[in-house]
Every structure is written in C-alpha cells, then in structure tokens.
Amino acid sequence: MQPIFIDKDYSLIDSNTTCGLAQSFNQLALQEHEIKIRLNRFLFPKDSWDKPCCELSGGERMRILLCCLTVFSASPYLIILDEPTNNLDIQNLEILATALNEYQGTLLVVSHDETYLEQIKIGQTIALN
C-alpha cells in the first residue's frame, strides 16, 4: 500500500463526486448500510450524501476523506498531513484527533499548532527555523 498524503486541498477527493463517494473507496467489500453508518459517524447524515464535494467546507472535506480511508482494504502505513488544523472548527478538530489517535500506522505532520500535536500524541518533532 502506498502512503497517503493529505494536502491542504484534499486532492484525494474528486470535487465532482458526492459525499457518497465513500462507496468508491470500499475495498473492504462492506455492505452499503455499513458505509452509511460510517458516513453518519463522520457527521454526514442521509440528506448530505448527494451533496457535491466541491460544496464542502475544509472541515467537511477532511471528515469525508477520513471516512473514505476507514473503508480501504488496509490502513496505509504512513499518513502525511500538511497543516491539518487549517480550516477546522472545534468539532472537526476533535473528530480528526479521534481518528488519528486510533490510527495504527506512522503519522508525519507538518503543523504550527503545538497543542494539537500533543493532543494527537506526536512523539518526535523536528523544529525548523
């Protein structure tokens, strides 16, 4: 499996698709109701499933991307996040922190938010001046 790079533009998400795109990431062969449960868990209720991704806020794009990653056949061994707290409100920050704290692989995070890095339990840092 290739590492996953989550950039500021969430380019892994096709802006022309809808929030129901989680089904296209479904390499676990989960049943449709399981995908819907996961969409709801990431705060995408039924009335949002047909919403185009191009209309999503930054926080919503992060949430849909994380939802999609939960239905991959295997977790990537490395996730690279570039300023993941940009454009996120408190609720989305908490959802992201929960997802990252449950992740079993390696995280490489570029961030100025030291408090958030502590919250997601980053063990080693490199400071660049």
Q: Is residue 124 part of a domain?
A: no
Domain count across the chain: 1
Enclosing domain of residue 91: 4-119
Q: Is residue 21 part of a domain?
A: yes
The answer, as to whether pTM is greater than 0.75, is: no
Strand partners of residue 11: none
- Name residues whose C-beta falls within 8 Å of residue 68's C-beta, 6 or more positions apart in sequence: 12, 13, 21, 22, 24, 25
Q: Is residue 127 part of a domain?
A: no
The domain spanning residue 62 has which CATH number? 3.40.50.300
Alpha helices by DSSP H, 13-77? 32-41, 58-69
- Look at residue 119 in the predicted model and tell me its pLDDT: 93
Q: Is residue 125 part of a domain?
A: no
Q: Is residue 67 part of a domain?
A: yes
pLDDT in tens, 26-73: 777 888 888 888 888 888 898 988 888 888 888 888 888 888 888 876
pLDDT in tens, 71-102: 876 677 888 888 888 878 888 888 889 888 98
Q: Is the pLDDT of residue 1 over 70?
A: no
Q: Is residue 23 part of a domain?
A: yes
